[in-house]
Amino acid sequence: GSVAKIGGVFVVQMRTDPDDLALVKGLAELALHLNYAVLAEWVEDAETLELVRSMGCRFVQGFHIARPMSSEALASWI
């Protein structure tokens, strides 16, 4: 299926900028309406994870999940 990726610059600022919050909500709603999966970038903490999940983002990327790592480290992380 198709995936809509919401840029991290909006996600990371949405908790302090109402315009970015509205943009992320709107993009998530539009993507879900079009039957896209939604991925949010730059999820850096539990509060942001909870917020994007409440908007229907099933997939996330960011330091809250994991820091960048080598392929060797990935095998043990999984």
- For the entire predicted model, the pTM comes to 0.86
Q: What whole-number distance in Å separates Cα of residue 36 and Cα of residue 46?
A: 24
Residue 1 has pLDDT above 90, yes or no: no
Output the DSSP codes for 38-52: EEES---SHHHHHHH
Contact status, residue 56 vs residue 38, Cβ threshold 8 Å: yes
pLDDT digits over 16-62, tens only? 999 999 999 999 999 999 999 999 999 999 999 999 999 999 999 99
